[in-house]
């Protein structure tokens, strides 16, 4: 329970743990982060206030809740402190602190603690001394009777910089790194639960993301593609603007079905998707492929299946951020980021339509390669399908 009087809040402090470890890159990361914040908050009246190496976003109190929701989704920020910004003046600080604690008391808080952080050594009082002084001031001038060092009902943090920021709440956010700071990755996005979560995780790790989806129109419907577009729309809250490529692989699936063993169809299709995705990534200087695969989840994701899929990629690294995650863990993240409800809407899946009744559960690469050789002019067929791709700009 936070007892802060929301109408007093006029600034949000940002902490960014991992970025501060980056030494001389710090400046560059900060610049990126500021850029992202400016984008995320466009439409709001705000001022990015770099106060002695801590970023504060000064805003109107009525925008606080919405601005916090936006800032929560900016990767690179680990925590937010909704704050009351005041001038660096002892009397003003004391007055504001009393206002804050009186409101908290009225709302049920009975124990408190004061913590002072003094980055500005120009402020004449030392942190510990000033914390005691403020504590005494509260005990004398407010109904509070009890200081409690461990788990008080309300902790008054006073951050002394050029200005002074008083806050009681620390909101934990995703962390990660600013988008674009670690490279560019192409996600193979299906309509399921997993690949949107994989997208989120790699975006959180600072990757700029584009998407590719494979369909078998007219065997899969236009609505199935619409669903994928809607998923990328939801993801764009985190990824920013992106592009969704759609490739119709029906011709490839027909070739696989007529020329190769039924029970290898899924793995051969998956290999084709990877080859097309690598082609696409190369054509736009994307440096990695990303999938929602998780070890052992289905027949094509056994170690044998993954070996066969993986071997179809020539050079790019394939990132599988969910490889060690259980379905329940994946679902938890999907719910948290808002993709779950969309993912579970029914849709036809281009793999499922041609899926064999009895897929090989642990295919051997050698067998798969031999089967694949039966498709004549396979490279040309892939090239043809690739050239017919469409794309949609999202976000």
Nearest distance from C-beta of residue 51 to ligand ATP, angstroms: 43
Stretch that binds Mg ion, among 26-34, 121-129, 161-169, 186-194 (CB under 5 A): 186-194
Told to check if 309 binds Mg ion by CB under 5 A, we report no
381 is in an annotated binding site: no
Which option in Mg ion, ligand ATP, none does residue 188 bind, with CB closer than 5 to 8 A by kind? ligand ATP
Q: Is the CB of 51 or the CB of 293 nearer to Mg ion?
A: 293
CA dist 377 and 374 (Å) reads 9
270 is in an annotated binding site: yes
55 is in an annotated binding site: no
Q: Is the CB of 83 or the CB of 350 nearer to Mg ion?
A: 350
- Report the SS3 class of residue 117: strand
Nearest distance from C-beta of residue 300 to ligand ATP, angstroms: 5
CA dist 11 and 241 (Å) reads 27
Stretch that binds Mg ion, among 65-73, 151-159, 191-199, 299-307 (CB under 5 A): 191-199
CA dist 92 and 109 (Å) reads 23
CA dist 10 and 6 (Å) reads 9
243 is in an annotated binding site: no
Q: Is the CB of 79 or the CB of 192 nearer to Mg ion?
A: 192
Nearest distance from C-beta of residue 219 to ligand ATP, angstroms: 12
Q: How many residues bind Mg ion (CB under 5 A)?
A: 2
Q: How many CA atoms lie within 13 A of 350 on its CB side?
A: 31
Buried b (16+ CB within 10 A) or exposed e, 262-283: ebbbbbbbbbbbbbbbbbbbee
Contacting positions for ligand ATP (CB under 6 A): 188-190, 192-195, 213-214, 273, 291-293, 297-298, 300-301, 350-351
Count, in order, helices (H) and strands (E) of the chain.
15, 15
Residue 319 host element (H or E): strand 318-319
Inter-residue contact 290 to 319 (CB < 8 Å): yes
Q: Is the CB of 57 or the CB of 330 nearer to ligand ATP?
A: 330
CB-based closest residue to Mg ion: 192
301 is in an annotated binding site: yes
Q: Is the CB of 50 or the CB of 314 nearer to ligand ATP?
A: 314
Q: Is the CB of 52 or the CB of 298 nearer to Mg ion?
A: 298
- Report the SS3 class of residue 252: helix
**Closest residue by Cα to residue 340 from 196, 211, 190:** 196
Quick one: which of 152, 175, 192, 395 contacts Mg ion (CB under 5 A)?
192
Question: Distance from CA of residue 126 to its chain's centroid?
Answer: 39
User: Beta 164-167 vs 77-86: how paired, if at all?
Assistant: antiparallel
Which option in Mg ion, ligand ATP, none does residue 300 bind, with CB closer than 5 to 8 A by kind? ligand ATP
Which option in ligand ATP, Mg ion, none does residue 199 bind, with CB closer than 5 to 8 A by kind? none
Nearest distance from C-beta of residue 223 to ligand ATP, angstroms: 14
How many CB atoms are closer than 10 A to CB 331?
A: 17
13 is in an annotated binding site: no
Torsion angle of C-alpha atoms 248, 250, 256, 257, degrees rounded to 10: 160
List the alpha helices (DSSP H) in 50-108: 64-72, 90-106
Quick one: which of 168, 190, 266, 339 contacts Mg ion (CB under 5 A)?
190
Q: Is the CB of 75 or the CB of 200 nearer to Mg ion?
A: 200
How many CB atoms are closer than 10 A to CB 367?
A: 16
Nearest distance from C-beta of residue 194 to ligand ATP, angstroms: 3
111 is in an annotated binding site: no
Site residues, Mg ion (CB under 5 A): 190, 192
The binding site for ATP consists of: 188-189, 213-214, 270, 292, 301
The binding site consists of: 188-189, 213-214, 270, 292, 301
């Amino acid at each position: 329970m936070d007892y802060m009087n929301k109408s007093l809040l006029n600034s949000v402090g940002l902490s960014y743990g991992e970025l501060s470890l980056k030494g001389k890159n710090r400046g560059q990361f900060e610049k990126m982060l500021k850029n992202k914040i400016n984008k995320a908050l466009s439409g709001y009246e705000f001022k990015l206030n770099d106060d002695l190496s801590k970023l504060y976003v000064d805003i109107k109190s009525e925008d606080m809740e919405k601005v916090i929701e936006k800032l929560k989704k900016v990767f690179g920020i680990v925590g937010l402190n909704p704050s009351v910004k005041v001038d660096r003046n002892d009397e003003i600080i004391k007055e504001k602190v009393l206002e804050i604690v009186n409101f908290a008391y009225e709302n049920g808080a009975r124990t408190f603690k004061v913590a002072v952080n003094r980055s500005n050594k120009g402020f004449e009082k030392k942190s510990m001394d000033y914390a005691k002084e403020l504590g005494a001031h509260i005990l004398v001038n407010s109904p509070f009777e009890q200081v409690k060092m461990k788990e008080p009902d309300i902790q008054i943090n006073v951050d002394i910089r050029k200005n002074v920021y008083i806050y009681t709440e620390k909101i934990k956010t995703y962390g990660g790194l600013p988008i674009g700071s670690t490279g560019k990755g192409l996600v193979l996005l299906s309509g399921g639960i997993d690949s949107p979560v994989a997208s989120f995780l790699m975006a959180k790790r600072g990757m700029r993301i584009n998407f590719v989806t494979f369909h078998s129109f007219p065997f899969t419907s236009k609505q199935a593609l619409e669903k994928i577009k809607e998923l990328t729309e939801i993801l764009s809250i985190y990824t920013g603007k992106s592009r969704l490529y759609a490739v119709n692989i029906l011709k490839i699936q027909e070739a696989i079905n007529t020329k190769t063993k039924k029970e290898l169809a899924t793995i051969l299709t998956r290999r084709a998707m990877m080859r097309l995705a690598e082609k696409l990534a190369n054509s736009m200087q994307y440096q990695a492929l990303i999938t929602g695969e998780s070890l052992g989840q289905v027949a094509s994701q056994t170690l044998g299946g993954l070996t066969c899929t993986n071997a179809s990629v020539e050079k790019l690294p394939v990132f599988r951020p969910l490889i060690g995650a259980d379905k329940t863990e994946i679902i938890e993240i999907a719910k948290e980021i808002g993709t779950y409800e969309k993912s579970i809407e029914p849709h036809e899946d281009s793999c499922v339509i041609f899926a064999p009744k009895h897929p090989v559960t642990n295919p051997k690469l050698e067998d798969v390669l031999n089967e694949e050789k039966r498709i004549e002019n396979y490279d040309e067929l892939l090239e043809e399908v690739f050239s017919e791709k469409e794309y949609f700009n999202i976000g």
